[in-house]
Structure 1
Amino acid sequence: MCSRGAETMIHPDAFVHDKALVDQGVSIGAGTRVWGFTHLLSGAQIGADCNICEQVLQSRAMWWWVTGSR
């Protein structure tokens, strides 16, 4: 999977902790909270109203884990 030029989309109502890492090409929905020491790799898609707790690693390549809305 190539993510060059992929746009990062973080909804204005989402919260991303200042210690979280969000790579280029990530999508984060409205009302979602991403806490510290989390790393969202390129291609990760997080729906609305989700809570991604600290020390989580997520990527679109992790096909067994899909984060939908709520």
Structure 2
Amino acid sequence: MADVGQFPGGRDALLAMGFALVQQDGVGVYLMEEPDLAADLDKWSDWFDTLKVMRDHVENMLAQPLPSVYPS
């Protein structure tokens, strides 16, 4: 599977989906906080359902060829 960050706007898409860019051991990584399942099952379920929809959308976008920047 392709790395989302290699595509134009990929990193912005991760941020828009709720990921945050943080430093771990001197390396930038994207993390998303998971709501506390024990504290609020409905909130966690909504978060998880939205996460699956976003995953499916990203997979569909990655499966499409990038448009050519050079006219045929």
Q: Name whichever structure is richer in strand by fraction.
A: 1
Q: Name whichever structure is richer in helix by fraction.
A: 2
Give TM class, smaller chain. Answer: under 0.3
TM-score by length of 1: 0.20
| Greater length-normalized contact order (CA 8 Å, ≥ 6 residues apart) | 1
